[in-house]
A = this chain, B = another copy of it.
Amino acid sequence: MVQFLAAHLDASFAALSDATRRGVLEQLGRADASITELADAFCMTLTGMKKHVGVLERAGLVTTQKVGRVRTCKLGRSMLAEETAWIEEYRRLWSSRFDALDQVVEELKQRETFDGRRSTE
């Protein structure tokens, strides 16, 4: 399960690591589109767009359906729930680390003030 989740996160974060692929997801969030329409919208060859859609499809972010000669793309089932959970947990860790650092700095400041007072007494 952990390994499956790790592979799933690998695939989806990799899919999100390209501006065109993020753009395709934003576009499909507004309306379904054929590969040709997506290629036109992003000034790209059909082959290039097919590759990007393939990466998104393998990550569960897009599904495609071919009717006749047209392959239509729509958003997949992944709502990026696990990715959101991972990032939220990271942000929680990050905050607690920096809160702890703030506390150390505060303690050092107070000690300095205390030492300063003692040296002037």
Which A residues contact B (CB, under 8 angstroms)? 6-7, 9-11, 13-14, 16-19, 22, 25-26, 28-30, 75, 79-80, 83-84, 86-91, 93-98
Q: Establish whether residues B13 and A16, one from each chain, have CB atoms under 8 Å apart when the complex forms.
A: yes
Complex contact B87–A29 (CB within 8 A): no
Contacts of A11 in B (CB 8 A): 17
Q: Contact between A91 and B97 (Cβ–Cβ < 8 Å)? A: no
Asked whether B75 lies within 8 Å of A29 as measured between CB atoms, the reply is: no
Which of A7, A18, A86, A90 counts the most chain B CB atoms within 10 A? A90
Min CB gap A23→B, angstroms = 9
Taking A10-B18, A29-B97 as contacts, is the C-beta distance between A80 and B90 under 8 angstroms?
yes
